[in-house]
Structures are given as structure tokens and as C-alpha cells.
Amino acid sequence: MKKLRFGLFENAQTNDSGTSTWRHPDSQRHLFDTLGYWREIARICEDAKLDFLFLADAWGWADVKGQRPEICSLEGLDLPRLDPAIVAAAIVGATSKLGLVITGSTLLEQPYAFARRMQSLDHLSGGRVGWNVVTTGTAETAVAAFGVPMVAHDARYDMADDFMELVYKLFEGAWEAGSLERDKAGRFADPSKVHAIAHDGPFFRSHGYGNTNYSPQGTPVLFQAGSSDRGRQFGGRHGECVFLGGGSIEKLASQVKSIREEAEANGRDGNSIKIMSAFSCVVASTEAEAQRKHREILDAQTPEVAVASYAWFTGLDLSSYDPATKMSALHTELSQTQVARFGDKTVGDVLKDWHAHGVRTNPFVGTPEQIADIMCEMAEGADLDGFLFTPLIQPASTIDFVAQVLPVLRARGVAATDYEGETLRERLLGTPTPVLRDDHPGSGYRSLSA
């Protein structure tokens, strides 16, 4: 069995994943806007030798019948939140090996400014940065806040392809690796290694010189999580690490196969993409104790959150539908993943399910050995490369996982005992150098330097 990779899912706000567990006595997420909280989370991750800390993000807010429900403010459901790039920058100095992955929207960001932000983080971290590429800001309210028009689902991926082409030119072609000589005799940079870029795409235009020189990884490690047909096409072309939302081994195996085939259709080695599944668990020394802990977590949140939370992710107000309505009859231009995942369940089923775990997969509940068994079975049966651990209570759930489950996985030889490689790309993807593989489409934009 292959050695697995691990990341921690986090969110710079009081709650995440569409649930509201901040009331739980072991939760410290209400301190999300303090530097001490993030330094502690980073310390836990790095001490445990996790590969990366993944900072999710969303723009917008819940909207039900044209307004933000009061429950959102009472429970800290959707607002307020912090900028993940700022959080990552704040904890760079408190870490030395941990990868830092931030979310950025190709609909709402400006590529030229975004490229500089990512390269700045890659420089300051010594090559430990990844970018979770998303095509929207989650809520339809986000486009109103930005004053931009909403773009249909598949067209957003066309827009994202254009965004990627432009930032590849900036990441890979504008400044060559080694362009800075820093020679005080009179040569700070080699002019022959600095190049103008020109981009006139269907959505974005940019002409001139890159604002930041070539960073340790060039292009940050590219993460992606789209599960629609168009999303998988995008992931197969651009993604280096693709996340799946969980589910049965059969479902995961089918998705993994599809993503690897998409990569091969784009001239890439299908096995070069690391595919990781979301994973949550409640663990204790006995199964009965784990079940008790899980009930306490469920009891920490109120059912009223579910309607507002689901509307935030999808733009759908489930309270306006008959509970017997089949989810297959509903449509949204936002997160189609969060409609499709429920198949032919009813609206009433979904509200009950969403209260229990929101956007995350159902948690596994049991002893460390039972949880490790499940993870190994999932990884081997579905050809997974690792897991994105999504805590129910933070930091308590993460501490339980790294203290109780990770040692079992290490004893079985399927989890690393130390960091292997200097940059995030070398460590996570196993590449011999910090930069994009030659078969990745982004590497072709180095031809600007030819």
C-alpha cells in the first residue's frame, strides 16, 4: 500500500462546513481572529508532520428570501471571516516545513494581483504554498458585493482556463529562475531573463512585466475540488492535488479513475495527480465513548442553522420547497456538488442530513484501530493518495486524530514519520524538483523565456 499524505482543512471563521459547533466547550474556533489561535493550529500540524494546512474560503453570505437570516449572526455561521492569504502570511514565520494552501476564486480575483500575492507567499515561505483553485465565491450574494455578473457554471470553468493561462505566463514566463544575481558590483537582475508577457483572452487581458520574480516553486502547487463533469475536466488539466468529498469506496474509485483519465487525455501521467478524500472522525478508546462524544457534538448546534447554511452554499432556500420534493428536481448555478451528492433524497432528508454534518462527509466514529482500518480500506479500494482531515471540533478533533489515529497508521507503514523534501511540491507530489512537471500544461509557458 502506498504511503498516504495528509492535510488539515481549516477555515478562518467561527464555523465551517455549514455546521455551527462553536458552542461546544472544546471548540476554540471562536478565537479565529487571533494570531495565537493560528499559531497553535500550525504548531499542531507541524509537530504531527502533516503535509499542509488547507485554508478554505468563501465570499458572500447566506440569503433566504432576500435577506440574511438572524440565525447567521447569532451562530456566526457565514460571517465574519478573515482573508486566508493574510492568515497564511501571519503563520509563515511560526512554521518551517508545513505547507500552506489558500483558496482563491478565478471569478472574483484579478489574475495580475493574485499572481503577485501567491509568489510573495511562496518566496517568504521558501516554497511551501499551494493554491486551491475555485471558480466562484460560493454565494450568489458575492457577485452582488463585487458588482460583477454571475457567470453560468460551465462558463466559469472557461473563465478559469483563461485565468490559468494568464497566471502561468506570470508564474513561469515573466521571470526566469535564477534571474536575480544580487551582485553589488552592478547586476541585480539579468535583463535577458526578464520578459514581457502579453495576454488577450476571452475574459482577461494583461500586457507588461510580472510584478514578482520567479519563486521557489514557480507556480504554487495547484489544488482543485470540482466534482461536476466540467470540474473534473478542469482538474484533469490543471490540478496537481484533487480533493473528493467522500462517499462509498465504489463512488470514490469511479471518481479517481475519471480524474486520472482526464489527466491522461491532457498528456499528463494520471498517477502524477494526488487524489485525496475528505475525512472526518470522532475517536475514543472505546466505540461507546466515541459515540457519546459524537452525540455531544451534534447537540452543540441548533437545527435552525441548516436552512440558512444550505442556502449559503447553493443559493437554494430549501424552506420554500415541500419536504417531499426530490433533490433531483432542483437546480443551481452555484455549488452543484452540494445538490448532486444527495441524489434522489428529499428536501426533508437533506435538511436533517445537513444539520448532522453540513458540507462535510459523515464522520466515522470508533476506536483508533477502527478508524485506521477504514482509512486504509478506503485508500486501497479507491486508489486514494491521502486524506484531507476535516475536524468537527477544532482543535480537539485534530488533536485526537494526530495523537490516536496517526500513530496507528505510522505503525502500519502508511504514514510518513517525518517531512520528506524541502518544498510542498517535492514533499506532496514526490517530484525531483520544486517546479511543475514537464507534462503539466503550465510548464509550457516557460517558452516565453526561450
Q: What type of residue is 413?
A: G
Most confident of 184-193, 303-312, 441-450: 184-193
Phi, psi of 222, rounded to the nearest 5 degrees? -100, 115
State the pLDDT at residue 139.
63
Q: How far apart are CA 295 and CA 396, in angstroms?
A: 15
Angle in degrees, 0-180, between the axes of helices 229-238 and 249-265, rounded to the nearest 10: 60
Q: What are 180-234's pLDDT values in tens digits?
A: 999 999 999 999 999 999 999 999 999 999 999 999 999 999 999 977 889 899 9
Cell match 467522500: residue? 246
Here the cell at position 189 is: 537582475
- Closest to 163 measured CA to CA, from 413, 155, 140, 261: 155
Q: Which residues pair with 241 in a beta bridge?
A: 223, 274
Supply φ then ψ for residue 317, to 5 degrees: -90, 95
How far apart CA 276 and CA 136 sit, in angstroms, is: 21
Residue 326 grid cell: 426530490
* The pLDDT of residue 334: 60
Mean pLDDT of the chain: 92
pLDDT of residue 336: 63
Distance (Å) of CA 61 to CA 97, 134, 313, 337, 361: 34, 17, 9, 18, 22
**pLDDT tens sequence across 317-333:** 887 888 888 877 787 76
Give the torsion sign (CA, 30, 33, 34, 37).
positive
Q: How far is CA 11 from the centre of its chain?
A: 10
Domains of the chain: 5-285+362-449 (3.20.20.30), 297-357 (no CATH)
Chain segment 4-60, per-residue pLDDT in tens: 999 999 999 998 887 888 999 999 999 999 999 999 999 999 999 999 999 999 888
Angle (nearest 5°) at CA 291 between 287 and 292: 120
SS3 58: coil
pLDDT in tens, 153-165: 899 999 999 999 9
Cβ neighbour number for residue 303 with a 10 Å cutoff: 10
389-407 average pLDDT score: 97
pLDDT in tens, 333-366: 666 667 777 777 898 888 877 777 777 778 999 9
Type of residue at 89: A
Going by the DSSP 8-state scheme, the letter that residue 172 receives in this structure is: I
Residue 119 has pLDDT above 90, yes or no: yes
Q: What is the mean pLDDT of residues 309-322?
A: 79
Q: Is pLDDT of 149 > 90? A: no
Query: Using 50, 70 and 90 to split pLDDT, how confident is the model at 450?
Result: very low
Strand pairing category for 221-224 and 187-189: unpaired
Q: Is the model more confident about 396 or about 329?
A: 396
User: If you average pLDDT over residues 372-385, what whole number do you get?
Assistant: 98
Q: Are 135 and 107 in contact (CB under 8 A)?
A: yes
Q: Is 290 helix (H, G, I), strand (E, B) or coil?
A: helix
- The pTM of the full predicted model, rounded to 2 decimals, is 0.91
Cell reading at 404: 490516536
**Highest-confidence range of 87-96, 354-363, 440-449, by mean pLDDT?**
87-96
- Tell me the per-residue pLDDT of 246-262, one tens digit each, with 9 for 90 and over: 889 999 999 999 999 99
pLDDT digits (tens, 9 = 90+) for 72-86: 898 888 899 999 999
Identify the residue whose cell numbers are 483553485. 133
